[in-house]
Amino acid sequence: MSTESNNLVSRRGLLRTGAGLLLIAALPPLPGHAAGSSEYRIVAAPARARLAGAGRPETDVWAYDGTIPGSLVRLRQGEPARLVVENRLDQETTVHWHGIRLPNAMDGVPGLTQPPIKPGGSFAYEFTPPDAGTFWYHPHANSLEQLGRGLAGAVIVEEREPVAVDRDLLWLLADWRLTDEGGIASGFGNRMEAAMSGRVGNTVTLNGRVSEAEPVRAGERIRLRLVNGSLARIMALRFEGHRPVIVAIDGQPCDPHEPEGGRILLGPAMRVDILLDMQEEPGRRYGVIDDFYEGLSYRLTQLAYDEQRALREHPLDAPLDLPRNPLPEPDLAAAERHDLTLQGGMMSGMGGMQGGGMMHGMTGMGRDPVWAINGMSMTGDGHAGMEPALTFQRGRSIKLVLRNETAWWHPMHFHGHSLRVLSRNGEPVPHRQWQDTVLMAPKDVVEVAFVADNPGDWMLHCHVMDHQMAGLMTVLRVA
């Protein structure tokens, strides 16, 4: 199946509509599917995938519905969805719907919000997504290994009114550590890595395979949804010869703007939606470069213009703004203020740190946690009996000051809420952006605010999976 058809029409969309197959396939991008069809059955099981491309060995993976990435889940804003997850792995799992503001019991955190799904068992996730946008799903049990072996998929929640673009594409990017034989390298939970930048791999895939080129047509406007599904790799993408406009971050529309320095920063678990006007000549090719790590830049893929003449001469004359989602605006004047300080890691001398008695579940991690938030370390993926670090009264506006006292980058992820990002190192953050995953550079201080309107115990953790497992996690309670 070509990437494009993979992106535009989910396999399940086709199955569900049955006789409508040809019709749907012939429609323009983002076909609406029949009302009331937001039902999926997703099976987590071992599978095989050709990640590195033809001529390279296949890889044993764990996958949703047998494909890497897993089935694209398409939901509609404000319409109830039901997703039954079946576990055919030989270990417990759960699914977390990353970034979707849903009821706590559907959040997929083992012990905290649901019992894990046993091998052979299943669990029905039911919720109504309030926000349109780009989200993704992944396990929240033995996360480092389950995500690292391939369990991930994207969720698109469609806007009520479609946005005016010629094509709507999604690139789920993932980073793998492959051996020469094509296997997934062992050594998950290496303690040294956990104290540094985490398990960064050696092979980056775009929708499940290493990509040489992605076809585009001159004159078209593409909405490109970027998802970083990596365990630990941070990306900084440059589109050579093009000027991407960022229209949404972590699923939430922002004021359209060009990225600083032309580089789109994507920490693990982050999503960025861009609009790309393909204003170059038919037949030409342009690199998409990731140069986040100094001296380690590589070409992720190329935009390959086909030979067709331009679809139009000038960029599409349509607004760039996406419709905003119904997020409650925090009342900054009345907001309660709290600090969350990230500590630990290599070069920190975490000697004085207290473990706080929350050290269970450190799969293969060795003894002590290496990271902490406000002096406390919660390790693993979530489990019963995690006491909240902070409790907020439901409906209150909350302002959090996140301080990264470590020498490492951390994409800090909040469950259950999207946060308005106010400032970074004293500078106001423009573009009215909301995020669920805030990438923090070493020593960064970031202020965020939100209305604590979603009741329950919510995980807050670094999305570098090794960091989460090794203590960079806590719980926030909205009571």
The one of ligand C2O, Cu ion, none whose footprint includes residue 467, by CB under 5 to 8 A per kind, is Cu ion
Cα-to-chain-centroid distance, residue 129: 16
The one of Cu ion, ligand C2O, none whose footprint includes residue 410, by CB under 5 to 8 A per kind, is Cu ion
Contacts with ligand C2O by CB under 6 A lie at: 96, 98, 138, 140, 269, 413, 415, 459, 461, 463
- Minimum CB distance to Cu ion smaller for 420 or for 467: 467
- Minimum CB distance to Cu ion smaller for 109 or for 169: 109
- Minimum CB distance to Cu ion smaller for 76 or for 467: 467
Q: Which of 326, 334, 347, 349 is nearest to 418 (CA)?
A: 326
- Minimum CB distance to ligand C2O smaller for 439 or for 459: 459
Cα-to-chain-centroid distance, residue 456: 22
Q: Which of 143, 132, 169, 138 is nearest to 250 (CA)?
A: 132
- The residue whose Cβ lies closest to ligand C2O is 98
The one of ligand C2O, Cu ion, none whose footprint includes residue 269, by CB under 5 to 8 A per kind, is ligand C2O
Smallest separation (angstroms) from ligand C2O to the CB of 464: 11
The one of ligand C2O, Cu ion, none whose footprint includes residue 459, by CB under 5 to 8 A per kind, is ligand C2O
- At 346, the amino acid letter reads M
Smallest separation (angstroms) from ligand C2O to the CB of 472: 11
Phi and psi for 147 in degrees, rounded to 5?
Answer: -70, -40
Phi and psi for 214 in degrees, rounded to 5?
Answer: -120, 130
Residue ranges of the alpha helices (H) in 18-138?
A: 21-26
Instruction: Indicate the length of the chain as a whole number.
Output: 479
The one of Cu ion, ligand C2O, none whose footprint includes residue 464, by CB under 5 to 8 A per kind, is Cu ion
Contacts with Cu ion by CB under 5 A lie at: 98, 410, 415, 462, 464, 467
Smallest separation (angstroms) from ligand C2O to the CB of 460: 8
The one of ligand C2O, Cu ion, none whose footprint includes residue 470, by CB under 5 to 8 A per kind, is none
Smallest separation (angstroms) from ligand C2O to the CB of 394: 21
Smallest separation (angstroms) from Cu ion to the CB of 305: 37
Q: Within 10 Å of residue 394's Cβ, how many Cβ atoms? A: 13
Phi and psi for 102 in degrees, rounded to 5?
Answer: -130, 170
- Minimum CB distance to ligand C2O smaller for 30 or for 459: 459
- Minimum CB distance to ligand C2O smaller for 20 or for 130: 130
Question: How far apart (Å, rounded) are the C-alpha atoms in residues 224 and 218?
Answer: 16
Helix (H, G, I), strand (E, B) or coil at 8: helix
Smallest separation (angstroms) from Cu ion to the CB of 241: 34
Evaluate the CA torsion angle 9, 268, 97, 244 in order and state its sign. Answer: negative
Longest Cα pair distance anywhere in the chain, in angstroms?
66
* First-to-last C-alpha distance (Å) of the chain: 47
The one of ligand C2O, Cu ion, none whose footprint includes residue 399, by CB under 5 to 8 A per kind, is none
Question: How far apart (Å, rounded) are the C-alpha atoms in residues 220 and 223?
Answer: 10
Smallest separation (angstroms) from ligand C2O to the CB of 17: 30
- Minimum CB distance to Cu ion smaller for 55 or for 349: 349
Question: How far apart (Å, rounded) are the C-alpha atoms in residues 335 and 460?
Answer: 19
Q: Which of 235, 291, 258, 271 is nearest to 409 (CA)?
A: 235
- Minimum CB distance to Cu ion smaller for 24 or for 386: 386
- Minimum CB distance to ligand C2O smaller for 266 or for 303: 266
Smallest separation (angstroms) from ligand C2O to the CB of 416: 10
Smallest separation (angstroms) from Cu ion to the CB of 461: 8
Pairing of strands 81-87, 133-138: unpaired
